[in-house]
Amino acid sequence: MNNSIQPKYTIKILLLVFNLSVIICLGQSRTNMIFTQTFEDINTIKNTIIAGAKVVGEHNKAVFFDGVDDFISFDIPYLNSNNDFSISIWVAPTRYKIAATWVSKPNLNKSKSQFRYGFGWPANRNLNFTFYDNFWQDTSVQYTLPLNEWTHLVYTLSPKNKKGQLYINGDLKHEYELNGYMPSKDPVFLGLQWDDYIFYSGYIDEFSVFSEVISAEEIKKLYNVFTKTDKIDVKPKLSKKINNYTYTIPQKHNDQIKTGDIRKIACDYDSIFNIVKKQLNDSTANLESLLIYKENKLVLEEYFHGYTANTLHGVSSITKSFTSTLLGIAIDNGFIKNEEASLSFYYPNKNGIPCLDSITLKHVLNHKSGIEPLEIARSLRTKKDWVQQLLANQNECKIGEFKYHELSPEIVMHTIFKNSPMQDLNYVYNYLFEPLGIKQYYWLKDQTGTIDGGTGLVIRPRDMLKFGILYKDKGVFNGKRILSEEWVRRATSEEITDFKYNYFWWRFYKTVEGKNIYYYSATGFGGQNITIVPELDLVIVATNSASGAGLSPKNIIKNFIIPSFVYVER
């Protein structure tokens, strides 16, 4: 692979499979068009959606997808064979969500045929289009697609001629030679990444698959025909400035969260209202939700940019704090001895590597295990015993040295399920989600089928709040103990002063007029945040887009919300 063109980030638009045979007219009938979808019928869309997806709106022919939790898939068995084909789609990106994941070099012996179309965020704030396909080789190229404009993409592939092509707006932009080809049954997503990071938000239309490599002339015709159709205007509408924001007490749901009036709580609520007003007025602002829980009541609940209380949101590395909690529950129930036990207790040190006997789960929880994410780990990740094999290939361990990487939470998660009576989501639901009343979520899995302990959780902001309340109340939610108070203390206590990171939680201080306020946070890439401020009996939840130019949730919480409550309590 040519590393010089490999992007650091990618998102995957996958084209799953739909057993239809359609002939459509583009001036004349095309018998080689095996599938087309113009998204005219909302019910047709709903019938093609797989678990976790949700269409958030229909606009004439086009459908709007919110990249945070929407995707669509089609089952086209033709693509699973060694046939030539072409894929055509119109896209109009409107908002960038959060950056995509690292693209790793595949195991060439088990290469998968996947089509990944990525949207990143370059300095000019346009979307960065990444084409990445994974056969016996990888290839990646980057193009900038404008926001709020329609762009026509055509991808052609010929296993017979060992050639792939990418066309943008009728012009050939990239061509490469295939060294080999392996058909696959893997799905292709449109709008949601296979891992956890969610990116593409905007419109899609005129998705078609052809059973041949269509010519440059035909592609140009496709582009010219559809540019003349009555397409929806995707230019952003300028909204009127909101000069007088009207605060509304959060609605009561049947979710065990009490609500109250922030104006009846001692705080500088005008400063908080100004934050909300700015988010409503500024199209570049980041926040997508902001929730404040004070004195055992939800006193502020605001959503922005089309988000609602029912919108699921990818929370990225907040997932790690959930993973830590699941380990605490496993220890509380006696499934796992404790976090002080050596990893070799769970993964026998068959090769006699001296340092492995000294590494504990606590080291892993704090990213201080010294375990190196070796290149070999990539080829091991499809094996159920990959943790055992990874440890067996360690040469030396720099125990105690902080090194943040995704292997840590995944080792913890695999250890939990290696020793627990229930597996994966059954364990999560029975021991954590059901007691918290969390019903709407999905949790993406790794290559072994185990839920991704590092970044895979997608959940609603109100349910993020429940998780924060669980920690604020020292392991109790709605009068029921879910997690031991001792685990909460070991994970989050201010007494633990050796480092700013502990048990997959970040730890901070904010000084307000000479007073130090301790707080801890579960944070996720792109600005996702659950913050607990014990001294102020305060929980704050924010979800966020990395695309905006405004203040980050971390900044808003530290410099505006916490001081708003400290000010009147001094």
pLDDT at 263 over 70: yes
Domain 3-227 top-level CATH class:
mainly beta
Mean pLDDT along residues 162-181? 77
Alpha-carbon distance of 150 to 145, in angstroms, equals 9
pLDDT value of residue 237: 53
pLDDT at 186 over 80: no
pLDDT value of residue 352: 80
Indicate the range of 34-43, 81-90, 201-210, 525-534 predicted with least confidence: 34-43
pLDDT at 324 over 80: yes
pLDDT at 247 over 60: yes
Residue ranges of the chain assigned to CATH 3.40.710.10: 262-315+457-569
* Backbone phi, psi, residue 24, to 5°: -125, 160
Do residues 55 and 42 touch, judged by C-beta distance below 8 A? yes
Sheet order of strands, 457-459 included: 313-314, 457-459, 441-443
Indicate the range of 80-89, 106-115, 533-542 predicted with least confidence: 106-115
pLDDT at 462 over 80: yes
pLDDT value of residue 225: 76
Cβ-based neighbours of 358, under 8 Å, separated by 6 or more? 342, 397, 399
Alpha-carbon distance of 55 to 46, in angstroms, equals 7
Per-residue pLDDT band for 419 (boundaries 50, 70, 90) equals: very high
Model confidence over 363-416: pLDDT tens digits? 999 999 988 776 555 566 667 788 888 888 787 778 888 888 888 999 999 999
Mean pLDDT along residues 522-539? 93
Cβ-based neighbours of 107, under 8 Å, separated by 6 or more? 378, 379, 382
pLDDT value of residue 22: 26
Q: Can you name the residues that pair with 529 across neighbouring β-strands? A: 523, 542
Mean pLDDT along residues 470-499? 92
The total number of residues shown for the chain amounts to 570
Mean pLDDT along residues 70-98? 60
Which residue in 272, 310, 501, 535 sits closest to 405, CA to CA? 501
Compute the radius of gyration of the chain from its Cα atoms.
25
Q: Can you name the residues that pair with 134 across neighbouring β-strands? A: 114, 138
Measured in Å, how far apart are the chain's first and last C-alpha atoms? 60
pLDDT value of residue 422: 86
pLDDT value of residue 228: 56
Neighbours of 61 (CB within 10 A): 18
- Which SS3 state, helix, strand or coil, does residue 411 take? helix
pLDDT value of residue 110: 30
pLDDT value of residue 465: 98
pLDDT at 342 over 50: yes
Neighbours of 56 (CB within 10 A): 16
Model confidence over 128-171: pLDDT tens digits? 333 333 333 344 455 666 777 788 888 787 877 878 788 889 99
Do residues 435 and 427 touch, judged by C-beta distance below 8 A? no
Do residues 19 and 189 touch, judged by C-beta distance below 8 A? no
Model confidence over 90-135: pLDDT tens digits? 877 766 543 332 222 222 233 333 333 333 332 233 333 333 333 3
Cβ-based neighbours of 277, under 8 Å, separated by 6 or more? 242, 245
- Which SS3 state, helix, strand or coil, does residue 512 take? strand
Do residues 325 and 432 touch, judged by C-beta distance below 8 A? yes
pLDDT at 27 over 50: no
Q: Is residue 517 packed enough to be buried (19+ CB in 10 Å), middle (13-18) or exposed (0-12)?
A: buried
pLDDT at 309 over 50: yes
pLDDT value of residue 477: 97
The pTM (predicted TM-score) of the whole model is: 0.69
pLDDT value of residue 490: 95
Q: What percent of the chain has pLDDT over 90?
A: 33
Model confidence over 39-63: pLDDT tens digits? 444 344 433 333 233 333 434 456 5
Alpha-carbon distance of 182 to 80, in angstroms, equals 9
**What DSSP element (H or E) covers 300?**
strand 297-303
Which two structure tokens, joined as six digits, stand for 166?
């990418």
pLDDT at 275 over 60: yes
Domain 262-315+457-569 top-level CATH class:
alpha beta
pLDDT at 297 over 80: yes
Alpha-carbon distance of 241 to 145, in angstroms, equals 29
Alpha-carbon distance of 104 to 568, in angstroms, equals 51
Neighbours of 240 (CB within 10 A): 6
Do residues 117 and 108 touch, judged by C-beta distance below 8 A? no
Mean pLDDT along residues 264-279? 88
pLDDT value of residue 232: 64
- Which SS3 state, helix, strand or coil, does residue 470 take? helix
Per-residue pLDDT band for 479 (boundaries 50, 70, 90) equals: very high
pLDDT value of residue 499: 72
pLDDT value of residue 14: 28
pLDDT value of residue 146: 72
